[in-house]
Amino acid sequence: MSRASNVNTSRVAASKGVAFSKSPVLAVRLPTWRSRVVLFVLFIAFVALAVRALWLQGVSTQFLQKQGASRYMHTLELPATRGKITDRDGQVLASSVPVKAIWAIPEDVQEAPPAKLKQLARLLDMSDAELQKKLDSDRSFVYLKRQVEQDISDQIAKLDIDGIQTRKEYKRFYPQGEVTTHVVGFTNVEDQGQESMELAQQKTLQGIPGSRRVIKDRLGHIVEDIESVREPHDGKDLVLSIDSKIQYIAFTQIKDAVEKFHAKAGAAVVLDVHTGEVLALANWPTYNPNDRSKLTGEQLRNRVMTDTFEPGSSLKPFTVALALDEKRITPHTMFDTGNGSALIGGHIIHDTHPHYLIDVQGIIQKSSNIGTSKIALGMPAQDMWEMFTKVGFGQQPKWGFPGAVAGRVRPYKSWRTVEQANMSFGQGISVSLIQLARAYMIFARDGDIIPLSFQKVTEAPHGTPVISPKTAAEMREMLEMVTQPGGSAVKAQVPGYRVGGKTGTAQKVLNGRYSQSKYIGNFIGMAPMSNPRFIIAAMIDEPGGPVHVGGDVAGPVFSALAAQALRAKNVAPDSDLTHIIIPESAAQGNM
């Protein structure tokens, strides 16, 4: 209806005496209760808004402030610098260098120019597809690459790609690389120790990280530094017992020996007789801790600590020392070893060559299995077992070095006669190389034994007596005869120094049977004999070719290592002998 029509209708109503309030134009067609309902609903809505406003501004203030702060305020971790590892003279073996972690907010990076993303992939040493796969993540945060060198990080920053950020972290660097890796170990990308002393001393080295609060914008940029919550505390430096000069000598000598004899592996360890410090520990094969991209299990194995083997004849001195200490024999007691074979406990035991009637000194010098067996069977099995356990065989090492094994010595109650005989010359018992080296301390230290240490020692430890000083002195004389003409380790001689030790050659056990072609040759010795300073143990695993006995494959390693170590530490010569004397028959009886 038009406005003119309304006006006319009003005029008509007025002309007929109808009141304006009762005009048909103003007639209400809706029920009154509906308008009242609308008014009530509006009233309730306003009350609800008032209550909500009161709740938000009065009761929930702290919660809302916390939620708001979580959108723009962040707590950043401030990494602590991992402590350095040095050798006994302060030479750095492991240190931390600052690097950057490159991370991204995927949804912010998607708008970046393709050309810049290609450059980013190239700098990160990734393919375009690899980078895109990471950026396609539905997470709000993703690492692109960890431990990026500083110069690469600077180039990435210059690309100025929204959503690409960097975070400070540290990368471990090992200056001596593969030479000391089996002692020092390495850390993972999170700077956590994974092997050797890096793992053993994790709590000491890692330090305590700090933190600070900052305000970030939508793109993750820091726009304001609020406060420092906790200052980082750097890790403590660790001083090892290792002597870098001796360590390098040991490493090169064992490497050369493995290559020379076409062996599977080799290991060497050098101990300080006076302090029990481990001056060198070397393995081959090894690996470079600065580049572990091609690391294998064979390279990772710390054979000095974790591999056990039957020591063979290098165990004979302990049987003889026990008999001497119990006064069951003297160095000149005679034994008939026959023509090189003897029936003991229903089994035939052989010597490499007939020795017939020889004294105890000859048994050690010639390395007679038969003579040692007869000495062993003259004693209770329990006495031998106690001797083995006192020097650490079959006992879990407590040297603070991860992975160190206990070896195996069966309970003496289960020994049969032939088993007691076999154990006397190193069969049926398993030890690690470092256990064997430490056990020889009873001969070098006048009968007592001390704990080993991989950290520098400031005070000489107290020893635990095992045999008498007299017995130890008698054993040193016999061990020195092993390296002299007529002995089984003439190749272990050191010009200018008196040395002594014992060879060991053991058949490897494969599938429960002794192999006829695979051996482990070892030599454990000390120098100089006038006042022993070092105990040196060397082991060659599976030497190839006809030469495989300990005196021929491990003896020369001892000789070269001892000669250089003695000179490196300025130990005065104690012998007029300046040339090694090796008779034509030197290879005979070198077990």
The residues assigned a catalytic role are 313
Alpha carbon distances (Å) from 1 to 16, 91, 434: 21, 105, 113
Helix (H, G, I), strand (E, B) or coil at 586: coil
CA distance 475 to 320: 8
- Of 434, 476, 472, which is closest to residue 452 (Cα–Cα)? 434
At 510, give phi and psi (nearest 5°): -125, 125
CA distance 558 to 311: 16
252: left (phi over 0), alpha (psi -120 to 50) or beta: alpha
Under DSSP, the state recorded for 579 is S
Please list, in sequence order, all residues whose beta carbon lies within 8 angstroms of the beta carbon of residue 581, skipping any fewer than 6 positions away: 484, 485, 490, 493
**DSSP, residue by residue, 314-370:** GGHHHHHHHHHHTTS--TT-EEE-TTSEEEETTEEEE-SS---EEEHHHHHHHT-HH
Rounded to a whole number, what is the distance in angstroms from the first to the last CA of the chain?
A: 127
CA distance 422 to 51: 92
Provide the b/e sequence for 117-152 (b: ≥16 CB within 10 Å). Answer: bebbbebbebeeeebeebbeeeeeeeebbbebeeeb
CA distance 272 to 143: 47
Interior CA angle at 545 toward 540 and 547, to 5°? 60
Residue 89 burial (C-beta neighbours within 10 Å; 0-12, 13-18, 19+): exposed
CA distance 472 to 457: 25
Supply the Cα-derived Rg of the chain in whole angstroms: 40
Scanning the structure block, which residue is given the tokens 């003889």? 320
Please list, in sequence order, all residues whose beta carbon lies within 8 angstroms of the beta carbon of residue 274, skipping any fewer than 6 positions away: 460, 533
Under DSSP, the state recorded for 497 is B
For 169, the enclosing helix (H) or strand (E) is strand 164-173
At 451, give phi and psi (nearest 5°): -70, 155
Provide the b/e sequence for 64-82 (b: ≥16 CB within 10 Å). Answer: eeeeeeeeeeeeeeebbbb
- Of 252, 259, 260, 257, which is closest to residue 280 (Cα–Cα)? 252
